[in-house]
Structure formats: structure tokens, C-alpha cells
Amino acid sequence: MRILGLNHDMFISSAALIEDGNVIAAVAEERLTRDKRTRAFPRKSIAYCLEEAGIKIEDVDAIATSWNPGAYFRKFNPLVSNKRRHMAEHLFAVPDHLIDMFPQGDHTAPWLELRIPIMGHMCRVFYVTHHSAHAANAYHLSPFEDAAILTADSQGEYESTTFQHGQGSTISKLRSIDFPQSLGAFYATFTEFLGFRPNSDEWKVMALGAYEEGHNPYDDILEEVVSLDQDGGYTFDLSFFQGFMPDKLNLYTPHLIARFGEARQADEELCQRHFQIAGAVQRRAENLAFHMMRQLQKETGSKNLCVAGGFFMNSLLNGKIRENTPFEKVFISSCPDDSGNAIGAALYAMNDILGNDTRVPQTHNYFGPAFGNTEIAEAIEKYGLKAEPCENIAESCAQLLEEGALIGWFQGRMELGQRALGCRSILADPRQASTRDQVNLAVKYREKFRPFAPAILKEEAAKWFNIDSDVEVPFMEQVHMVRPEKRDAIPACVHADGTGRLQTVDAETNLLFHQLISAFRKRTGVPVLLNTSFNLNGEPVVSNPTDAIRTFFSCGLDVLAMGNYLIKKNG
């Protein structure tokens, strides 16, 4: 059975093709159109998925998308019934009226189905509720047969947080917290207050908190902003927020300014007050999440936890879950944000709607386009470049890294998710602290306080990070403390608070990347490379050889490694 999953008109449109539970292909539309964070319909992504599978769209058994307009039939019925503007909206006008003829209650199903005849082919389209797609992206990709599921973002149709339970191939919703009570909106509001782009720059706030010093007065103030409920939920004082009112300019209110001081302007120099606010916001977000997780564990009795939604792009929080909750195992997919909902919608349709038991645990996120040496050579020739063919690209690049080169690494299938995991990466030697500033300023063109991730051989991770030997972080989704005795060995990858957002690299899932790090360890004794996504600030990660070549010559990289070819700026 093949299901095409779609995420569009959300953050980062995407498409995915699922066959009997296996992800055959998946890609974010931004990578193919070069329009970062595009919300456009993912036409190019769909075309790629079908081409990768060698099929046509009429060969797909069903289509699932990660938004359910049926959620609005009851929620906003008085505003829209009898007021449809186009005859096509008759599709929804009829349910608007029919739903009032049924007994009153919760009419919001987790999915809506349409059957559309197209050229003799009956196309089944499932509209999956946004947080159901998030839950499926978490649970149906996990290795668990039983797990508590927590999803959180700014807002789905109306849900912002859901408590769910996965058992076998079925997900059951326990309850939800609805917008404007929203963890995602909380973090986005303070992101904007600190002078950054909301729903985009939240990780900057996460990074800033590491620089706070002394007693933090904002911890007490944030207890006024949000309180913990006895049922495991939370309640925000909405006098601090106005993002739910579309006619207001900012997400924050004058009341928030009165309690926290003037908002920072985008070009204003950062000071200790901003660091303290960021630190307090991060701590409060963590406390809220752990509060919900503890209650969810009581209700489900499960020792396993799956989390998803844009809020759980917060890798600093993710790394603290096991030590602050009763859960023994935690799974976070490579794409807990909206881009992963193409997979989530398809898996929800496959398992929860159509009743198939086809769950395949995620071990990697290399679902995007790949380019062989022939295609790479054609691009090199097209642009008149000089390139060196290499018999052992891993060994050659390990030597260049040891010598201080900054390398653009373009290999294999592109990753799905916002983090590059060794296929579309910028790599550097982590042994000099100055490398961090060099990559930030001359390559990524971003703020100096932004940290970089250490990619480490999986078998070495527990020796370098304060984690148990059974902990794996394959998707760079968790931050952990670097062991004190190891920090001076990899200063370019150690943040101000002694942490690193690590990626554990497994030879079974990315053999070439593992070989590269192994070759670097043999030369230096360090099983770690500085790893960041292969893109410039404000641009999507590179997808094809042309993207890689243009980005390489637009920044301070020294070497471009594509397939078995090396391109050097110094000739």
C-alpha cells in the first residue's frame, strides 16, 4: 500500500511517500524551490517522491494531508454556515448543516475523508488533524509498541498541546489544551520580545540563556505569566500576550513590557538583561514540559515517551527529559516540526485510519535526492571548475580537516528535517575555539553566540558526553553536557554552559560519514567533527550540485567534497 503524505500552508511545506510503513522518499519544498520555509503547495516535492518510487500519482492508494478543515465545522459554524462564497465550498457547506442535526458533543474527528473521481481513478484524500499527524510522526516512527505521546506547538486547527497514547498500531487521544493557551506561542512571544523572528529564531533564545549570570529576577515574574494546573496542564495569563488577536502589531502586550522592560530591537546590542530573560524563559518552558510529562506517565503507565511538534525542536529541553521525568526511553524523530507532518499524516492514514499494522522504526532521515559521480562531474564541467578525483574521499578530507580546512560535504541522499546529519553538511576541526567564530562569521554569516553541533562516533559518545552508554542521539535532537575533562579537546563545539547538541554517528546508517570521523580520530585522537548545515544564513540547505557549488563560492569554505571529487579554492 502506498500513501502520499503532504504538509502545506504550514511551516516548511513537504511531501513524503510511504509504502507499507517504509518511507520511500520525503523532501521539503524549500530545498527544491530555494524559497526558505515556503508554505506553498509542495508540487516539486510530490514530483520527486513519485519519481524516486518510479510511479505515477494514479498508482498511489491514498493521499493524506496534515490539516483537517472538518475541525472547523462545529468550532466556527455560526460564522460560516450559509455564507460560503464559491460553489466548490459546497463540499463543506453540507457538513456544516448536517452536523447540527446530530446529537451535540465533540464533533471533531481526528480525520476527514473525501473521495474524488479523477480520470476514472477514485482518489481517497484524508485530512488528518495537525496534532494527529505530529503524534504519528513521533509514535509510528518510534521503536515502541506502547508509548505516551506529547505534542506541542503554537497552534494546530485549534489544539496547541495534546496528550495521547500509542498502543500497537493505534494512537488514542486523551485530551488537549487549545489555543491561545499555547507553549509554542509562549516561546514565540519572547523570541519576538528579544528582537528575533518568532516561529523561526527560537533556537537563538535557547542559546542566549547560557550567558546569564547571577540571580535571575525573571524566574519569579514568569510564575505570574504561567501557572501549573493540577491535571498536568498549564494556564497562561493572557494579559501578557496578544498574538491571538490578528489586529495587534506585536505578539506581546504593554503589560509584558511593564513587567520585563522594553523590548529589544533587532539591531540592539545584547546585554545581561536579555540573557537572563532568555534563561528564565527556557527554564519555565522546561518546567511546563516536565510537569505535563509526569502527569502523562501517570495516566498511561508507559515507560516510553514520544514527543513532536515545533516546540520539541528545543534540543536543550529534549536532553533533560529522562533525568526529570519517570520515562526510561524517549523517541524524537528527525523532523518533529511541521516538515515531518507529511510523514505523520501518511502514517496516521496507513495505521490509524486504514487499520494496517505497518510500523517501521526510523533509523535515519536520508530520504531526499541523491546525485551520483556522473551527475556531479557534469556539474563541475558545466561551470568550468577544476576538481580532483579521490579514491578515498574520507581519508583525503580527514587530512584537510586536520590541516584546518573548512569543508562543504555533499554526499548521498539529502536529509529530511532542519538539521544536516552528514550528507549536506559543513564540517570543521573542533579542536580550536577560533573555528567557531570563523564558521559563524565567514561561512554562515550569523551571530557569534550561536553554537555548533559535535558529530561523534556512536561508540565513543558516552566517553565524551555525560550520557549513559545506551543513549543514542542520531538526529542531533538533544543537548547534553560535554564531560569536563573533554571540553578543552573540542572547544569549537562546546557552548558557554558546557553543553553540545550532539549527533551520534552509526556506521550502519551513514558509513561514509562514519569513515570520515574515524579517519579524523586516527589522525588526531578526537572522534568528533564540528557539523552544521550546508547553507548560508537565510537560505535553505543545498539540495543539488549546482546549489552546493554556488554556496561554496559565496562564503569562506576552503574545500567542496562532492561524491568522489574535491574542489579547492586555492587551486
Rounded to an integer, the average pLDDT of 552-568 is 97
CA 460-147-502 angle, to 5 degrees, is 25
Rounded to an integer, the average pLDDT of 179-189 is 97
The mean predicted confidence, pLDDT, of the chain is: 93
Question: Given a cut of 90, is residue 132 above it in pLDDT?
Answer: yes
Q: Name all domains of the chain by residue range, CATH numbers in brackets.
A: 2-68+109-135+339-353 (3.30.420.40), 183-331 (3.30.420), 373-568 (3.90.870.20)
Q: Which three cell numbers stand for residue 424?
A: 549536506
Note the pLDDT of residue 162: 98
Q: What is the spatial distance between Cα 11 and Cα 275, in angstroms, rounded to a whole number?
A: 27
Q: What is the spatial distance between Cα 131 and Cα 340, in angstroms, rounded to a whole number?
A: 12
Note the pLDDT of residue 86: 52
Q: What is the spatial distance between Cα 148 and Cα 135, in angstroms, rounded to a whole number?
A: 10
Closest CA to 225 of 155, 290, 309, 288: 288
Q: In this predicted model, which residue has the larger pLDDT, 553 or 79?
A: 553
Question: Given a cut of 90, is residue 73 above it in pLDDT?
Answer: no
Question: Given a cut of 90, is residue 270 above it in pLDDT?
Answer: yes
Note the pLDDT of residue 84: 47
Note the pLDDT of residue 77: 47
Note the pLDDT of residue 74: 55
Rounded to an integer, the average pLDDT of 168-183 is 97
**pLDDT tens per residue, range 412-433:** 999 999 999 999 999 999 999 9
Note the pLDDT of residue 115: 78
Rounded to an integer, the average pLDDT of 264-274 is 97
Q: In this predicted model, which residue has the larger pLDDT, 80 or 131?
A: 131
Closest CA to 137 of 392, 337, 407: 337
**pLDDT tens per residue, range 435-451:** 999 999 989 888 889 99
Q: What is the spatial distance between Cα 252 and Cα 412, in angstroms, rounded to a whole number?
A: 44
Note the pLDDT of residue 112: 74
Closest CA to 163 of 178, 177, 174, 155: 174
Rounded to an integer, the average pLDDT of 143-155 is 97
Q: In this predicted model, which residue has the larger pLDDT, 120 or 353?
A: 353
**pLDDT tens per residue, range 498-524:** 999 999 999 999 999 999 999 999 999
Question: Given a cut of 80, is residue 87 above it in pLDDT?
Answer: no
Q: Are 460 and 471 in contact, with CB atoms under 8 Å apart?
A: no
**pLDDT tens per residue, range 195-247:** 999 999 999 999 999 999 999 999 999 999 999 999 999 999 999 999 999 88
Give the predicted TM-score (pTM) of the model. 0.94
Q: State the distance between the two ends of the chain, measured CA to CA, in whole angstroms.
A: 51
DSSP letters, 21-82, are TEEEEEEEHHHHH--TT--S--HHHHHHHHHHHT--GGG-SEEEES--TTHHHHHTHHHHTT
Note the pLDDT of residue 104: 61
Note the pLDDT of residue 35: 96
